[in-house]
Amino acid sequence: MSNIVWHQHSIDQAARGAQKGQNPVLLWFTGLSGSGKSTLAGALERALFEHGFHTYLLDGDNVRHGLCKDLGFSLEDRDENLRRVGEVSKLMVDSGLVVLSAFISPTREERDRVRALFPQGQFVEVHVSTPLSVCESRDPKGLYAKARKGEIANFTGISSPYEVPESAELTIDTSKGDLGTQVNGLLAYLKAIEVLNPPRQIAGAGI
């Protein structure tokens, strides 16, 4: 590592964000399988995209088709999966994007490790707090049923713990209210912390 030196480019994150009319940020959606992380993040990205903001959504399943296709689901591999996603998210935020990452990310240590990559205020933890009973009733991939039968080891919420965030910036239970209202709440928060800069008109969010 002694021969590796960080090269500082002439165009920095602030300039890239200013060009896009926004302040770069990472929204980290964490919660149980079936909690609605990907649905919520996808709906927020659509709302931002339709109003001219520059975004990218990193989803747990999608990154395992490429970036993390060599990893399994052992505790060590899951930890490495999130480490890679954190570093990719950092690069994307540096490019000036509003980045949305939807991952179970079950431990506080894993999430805090990603948070530590960013300056204060640039990592927004969104705890999708939908109760286990609701997530299990949805079971969109049939994973809970397999986990209950012992066919899947280390399944978060069943045979492996989920550590609830202690100080998430936002907490959303997708079993309460509707998706549109939840997205408007996220948009209002992004406006309040001046991510969406300059302000633009977004229906229903008062932006």
The yes-or-no answer on residue 95 being catalytic is no
Q: Is 10 exposed, middle or buried (0-12, 13-18, 19+ CB in 10 A)?
A: exposed
CA 204 – CA 32 distance, rounded (Å): 28
Q: Is 111 exposed, middle or buried (0-12, 13-18, 19+ CB in 10 A)?
A: buried
CA distances from 100 to 26, 42, 49, 148 (A): 6, 8, 12, 30
CB of 84 closer than 8 Å to CB of 43 = no
Active site residue: 105, 129, 133, 159, which one? 105
**Contacting residues for 147 by C-beta, under 8 A, at least 6 apart:** 155, 158, 159
Catalytically active residues are: 105
